[in-house]
Amino acid sequence: MAVDTIWVLAEVADGVPITTSLELISQARALAGTVEAVAWGDATASVAATLGEYGVTKIHDVGDLAGSLPGVPVAAAIAAAVAAGGPDAILFPATYDGRDIAARLSVRLDRPVLTNVVGLTTGDAGLVTQHAIFGGSQVLTARFTGAGPGIYVVRAKSFAAEPSGGAPATVVAAPAPDTGATNGAKIIARHVEERTGPKLDEADVVVSGGRGLGEKDQYVLIEELASLLRGAAGASRAIVDAGWVPYSHQVGQTGKTVKPTVYVACGISGATQHLVGMKNSKNIVAINKDQDAPIFSVADLGVVGDVHKVLPKLIEAIKARG
């Protein structure tokens, strides 16, 4: 089963396509003859050159959404474009908006969604997906059956983003049809929270904290070490659930996937929920007082010790280096 055409949701943030979308476009190029993108907003024309460079030939431009959350109008626009001649597969980055759009589109096309995809290959069975299950200890391969395009939601860092030197993509209008009251959710205001370091899923160094920190106030140790290493601060699900840090910091199955050069896990036991989000980091350092903690089974360097003793000394020692 050959794959002719793949569409990729090209999400744009701060005027440029997000990295995960570029990763998906790069992989789509290896799988299909034609790669096209779906984008929205007022900056589509300005990203045509970048998307073209990664191999996109055509952009289906939904245009400005007039303050609507993207889920409803973008899914409706894609469904209309699919009806006019659709692709074999549509790839979505696993982002807040990507997930919304994929779920809405699923109902419109009456096709299920394969989510948490970490690999996409073609074989005799057509397009198949890989999913990390049980903390990444096993890999599940799945595929769609029946007619209609496959809808895939792919996690960040599943593929490398590599430009292919293509010409700027052409932009065609793909306006959203009227969706009435369903499209009632409107953005009233946007709040940008100050971030001093790199983004969690793009950082070279990630320092994460877990329940072993003992209390919310101790998370400053994680932030300080992350900042000294010019990295980002992450968290285990346990302390997000406890309300110590916002969901956006969560690394793991129900959070972000990270693949930094170094991942430093502090007071994290290493539940399967967490491991699946970080075990593909290039190097892993774990500090935990329980020597039997599962995190040590994936650590390149494990320090059996109390984070309240090790972290302050580590921070002081790094500061002393100037």
User: Cβ distance 61 to 44 under 8 Å?
Assistant: yes
The correct pick among 43, 122, 248, 308 for binding other proteins (CB under 8 A) is 248
Would you count residue 12 as binding other proteins (CB under 8 A)? no
Task: Name the amino acid, one letter, at 243.
Answer: G
**Could you tell me which of 11, 68, 66 has the C-alpha nearest to residue 43?**
11
Q: Does 285 bind other proteins (CB under 8 A)?
A: yes
If the CB atoms of residues 26 and 253 are measured against other proteins, the closer one turns out to be 253
With binding defined as CB under 8 A, does residue 221 bind other proteins? no
Query: Of the listed pieces 2-10, 34-42, 53-61, 259-267, which binds other proteins according to CB under 8 A?
Result: 259-267
User: Residue 88: which of 163, 46, 32, 24 has the closest Cα?
Assistant: 32
Q: Which of 183, 197, 198, 227 binds other proteins (CB under 8 A)?
A: 183
Can you say how many angstroms the Cα of residue 152 is from the centroid of all Cα atoms in its chain? Answer: 13
Determine contact, residues 276/252, Cβ cutoff 8 Å: yes
Q: Are 41 and 12 contacting, i.e. CB atoms less than 8 angstroms apart?
A: yes
Q: Which of 77, 226, 233, 310 binds other proteins (CB under 8 A)?
A: 310
- CB atoms under 10 Å from CB of 33, counted, come to 10
Which part of the chain contacts other proteins (CB under 8 A), choosing from 1-9, 21-29, 43-51, 248-256? 248-256
The Cα 233–Cα 255 span in angstroms is 13
CA–CA separation, 279 and 52 (whole Å): 33
Q: Does 319 bind other proteins (CB under 8 A)?
A: no
> Smallest distance from the beta carbon of 166 to other proteins, in angstroms?
27
Of 155, 237, 259, 274, the one binding other proteins by CB under 8 A: 237
> Should residue 290 be labelled a site residue for other proteins when binding is judged by CB under 8 A?
no
Minimum distance from CB of 33 to other proteins (Å)?
Answer: 24
